[in-house]
Amino acid sequence: MAKNKEWWEWTKALLIAVGIAAIIRYFLFAPIVVDGLSMMPTLHNGDRMIVSKLHNEPKRFDIVVFHAPENKDYIKRVIGLPGDKVEYINDTLFINGKAYDEPYLEDYKVQMGDTLLTDNFVVEEIPEGHIFVMGDNRQYSRDSRHIGTVDLDKIVGKTNVIYWPIEDITLIK
C-alpha cells in the first residue's frame, strides 16, 4: 500500500512539472533556432534563442519573431512602427524624415565595405496595427521589403537572449 502511495505521489509531481513546463512553453517563453543568414552579424545561423511571449507593442529596433506568409516563423528587427514613413536612401535609414544611426550594423559595414543596401526604397506610411521589419543582413534578407508589413497579431514575441552555442551566450541590445 505504501509503495502505491509513493508511486502516486511521484506521478502527481511529474504531471505537475509537465503541466508547468507546458504553460511556460506555450504562454510565456519558447525556444527558437535562427535559420539562415538574414540577421548577420547580430545573429548567426543555428543560434538558439529564447522568445518572450510576454510582449506588448514592439519598440523600434526590437528583434521580434513572427509568423510569416510562408508558414514559417521569421526573426527580424523592427524598423517602422504604425504611422511611420520609412526610407532607405544611399545606405542610410530615415524614419519620418530623420536619419537614424544603426550601431548594430557598424562592424558589418566595415566588413562589407561600408555598403549594406544598394537599393533605395520608400514606404510612405506603415498601416495601423502593422510594423515594418528588416534583417540586419540587408542585402540577403527576406523582410518587409518583400513580404509587406507584419500584422501585430502575427508577432510571436520579442527575443534578445542567445543561449546556444555556449561561447555565444549573450544579451542583445
**φ, ψ of residue 57 in degrees (nearest 5):** -55, 130
Give the residue numbers marked as catalytic. 38, 76
Strand partners, 133: 78
Exposed, middle or buried, 27 (CB in 10 Å: 0-12/13-18/19+)? exposed
Q: Are 120 and 90 in contact (CB under 8 A)?
A: yes
Count of beta carbons in the 10 Å neighbourhood of residue 150: 26
Q: Are 28 and 53 in contact (CB under 8 A)?
A: yes
With left for phi above 0 and alpha for psi between -120 and 50, is residue 112 left, alpha or beta?
alpha
Q: What's the residue count for the chain? A: 173
